[in-house]
A = this chain, B = another copy of it.
Amino acid sequence: MTLRLHNFFRSSTSTRVRAALNLKGIAYDYVPYVLRNGETRTPEYLAKNPQGLVPTLECEDGTFLTQSLAIIEWLEETHPEPALLPGDPDGRARVRALAYMLACEVHPLNNLRVLFHIRDQYGADDAAQKAWFTHWVTLTFDALETELAGSAATGTFCHGDRPSLADICLYAQVWNNRRFAIDLGQWPTIAAIFERLDGIEAFRDAAPVNQPDAE
C-alpha cells in the first residue's frame, strides 16, 4: 500500500502537500473530496481528521497525519532528499518564516469557511469577499516582496537556488489568488519566482488545474 492523500484539487493546503510529494518523488494515491457536499464532515472522515479539513495523509501503517505543514515536515524527516529546508539553522528559520508568512497570515483568513462566515455574518457579497481576500493577500505580499527583493539570501527561488518549503507555500497561495484574479504584477520578485516554479514539473503537477477532480 502506498501513501494516500485525502484532499481537494482547489485547496491550497492540498497543493502544498502534493508539491512536496512530487518534489521528493513519492508516489501516492489521490483520494478526492468535494468540500461543498460535506464530504469532509462525515463521521468516517472526522475519525481521520477531527477538524474535518483537507489534506490528510494516510500512511502505510494506518496513521493519519493532518495539517499540511506538519505533513511536509514529516516528509522532510522521513524522506530527506531532495531537501525542502536548508541545512543551516538560520537558513531554515528564514525559509520557515517565509512559509509561515503565507500559512499563518494569509491563507487562514482567506479559506472558504472564512469567506462563508463573513457572507453569513456580515452579508459580504462576491465583491466584498474579493475585497476581504485581496486585503489580506496585499498586506502580506507587500512585506514578502520587500523581504524577497531586499535579501541576499533570495536566489532563483525564495531561498537560494533550490525550491523550498517557502516556494511550496508561495506557489499554492498564488494559485489561490487566481480565484479572485489578483494581479501578481505589483510584486515582481514574487511573480518571477512563481513563473520559475510553474516551469517545474513537480509544481505544475501539483497545481489545482491538473488534478483528477478539477472542474
Contact = CB atoms under 8 A, between A and B. Distances in A.
Interface of A: 50-53, 63, 65-67, 69-71, 73-74, 77-78, 89-90, 92-94, 96-97, 99-101, 103-105, 107-109, 114, 117-118, 121-122, 124, 128, 131-132, 135, 140, 143-144, 146-147, 150
- Work out how many copies of this chain go into the complex: 2
A92 B104 contact: no
A211 B138 CA distance: 33
A73 B74 CA distance: 14
14 contacts: A50-B144, A50-B147, A50-B150, A51-B105, A53-B105, A63-B90, A70-B100, A71-B93, A73-B96, A77-B89, A103-B104, A104-B108, A108-B108, A118-B122
A202 to B, nearest CB: 22
Contact of A70 (B50, B63, B93, B150): B93
A124 B105 CA distance: 21
A94 B146 CA distance: 34
